Amino acid sequence: MKESASAGKPVLVVGGAGYIGSHMVSALVAAGREVVILDNLSTGHRALLNPAALFVEGACGDRALVERILIDHAIGGVMHFAASSLVGESVQDPLKYYRNNLAQTVELLSAMQSVGVPYFVLSSTAAVYGEPQSVPIAESHPSRPTNPYGSTKAALERLLAEVEVASGMRHMSLRYFNAAGAHPDGTIGERHEPESHLIPIMIQVALGQRPHAQVFGTDWPTEDGSCVRDYIHVCDLADAHMVALQALERGAASSTYNLGTGKGYSVLQVIDTVRRITAHPVPVVVSGRRAGDPAVLVANADRIRSDLGWIPQRSDLDTIVSSAWNWHRRSA
């Protein structure tokens, strides 16, 4: 495949002050790429900004601002991490999700189209599948999201395919399962407020910031009765984005990929691992099942492995939990 004129050009990371975006910036900087971050700090943090990247504070729905950034910095590709991503909140306030995730991205894509930026990498999610009909879940599984958060991401995926037909902009939609862990150097990590993810919640218990953690149901049809999820280390996610961007730069066709390991861990297994690594008892309270939680969510990630050669390197549970523990202890 022929290397395009945009290969190696500066990258715009939208949402680069957030959890996953900041790890992406770190990976791009380490690879010698020039990076511009656009973030409105709605859920991001200045402390997660990488000093080697240029930071612009603003919203990706500000089309004039985005056009200026794309032109001034000769941006070759955009990686889009910015979104509202609390499933429960999306049910309470769907309009917020369609506004922030969909309408703002429409403006971002309009700016890219008018300036002629050729590549786009989207943070998508396993939530586009909805209730799994079979596991592990392959990309060909029907997409029937069960909440507005998943619907906005599914709509974006469709939109990207339609924009490509109209303008030739190529894209990669990367459907993450459960992002977890932190950078091995301990300088950046997960910081959501409110926190809704299992591993940081358990670690907050270990740090004495919460009295106990809640387990939603131990009567699921799984080996130990608790829900099973596929955890993927945030640095493995960043590596996957890097190979996806490089593939686009080499001329690869647009594609949709699951990012997971194909191996599930149960909630109780995660809790045991957190107890062992933090040497803290981590008390839990078991309550009833939560509506809408599937029993098992595990990816079939064969497609990205065979197309792009991506293989997760740090996604065993011990590495994930130790890196998260290291980050939370340092930032507590």
- CB 41, min distance to ligand NAD, A: 5
CB closer to ligand NAD out of 44 and 148: 44
CB closer to ligand NAD out of 216 and 286: 216
Distance between CA atoms of 72 and 148, rounded to whole angstroms? 35
CB closer to ligand NAD out of 3 and 42: 42
By CB under 6 A, the residues from 166 to 185 that bind ligand NAD are 176, 178-179
- Name the nearest CA neighbour of 298 among 112, 132, 165, 90: 132
- CB 2, min distance to ligand NAD, A: 31
CB closer to ligand NAD out of 21 and 130: 21
Binding mask 5-44 for ligand NAD (x = CB under 6 A): ---------xx-xxxxx----------------xxxxxxx
Indicate whether 104 belongs to the interface with ligand NAD (CB under 6 A).
Answer: yes
- CB 203, min distance to ligand NAD, A: 15
- CB 44, min distance to ligand NAD, A: 2
Indicate whether 324 belongs to the interface with ligand NAD (CB under 6 A).
Answer: no
Task: Describe the crossing of helices 104-115 and 148-167 by its angle, rounded to 10 degrees.
Answer: 20
- CB 147, min distance to ligand NAD, A: 12
Indicate whether 61 belongs to the interface with ligand NAD (CB under 6 A).
Answer: yes
Known catalytic residue: 19?
no
Distance between CA atoms of 24 and 37, rounded to whole angstroms? 10
- CB-count exposure of residue 242 (10 Å: 0-12, 13-18, 19+): buried
Q: Active site residue: 19, 97, 129, 149, which one?
A: 149
CB closer to ligand NAD out of 18 and 264: 18
Binding mask 131-170 for ligand NAD (x = CB under 6 A): ----------------------------------------
- CB 221, min distance to ligand NAD, A: 24
- Name the nearest CA neighbour of 11 among 35, 43, 28: 35
How many residues touch ligand NAD under the rule CB under 6 A: the total is 29
- CB-count exposure of residue 263 (10 Å: 0-12, 13-18, 19+): middle
User: Which of 85, 173, 226, 315 forms a contact with ligand NAD (CB under 6 A)?
Assistant: 85
Identity of residue 283:
P
Binding site for ligand NAD (CB under 6 A): 14-15, 17-21, 38-44, 59-61, 81-83, 85, 100, 104, 123, 125, 176, 178-179, 192
Which residues belong to the active site? 149
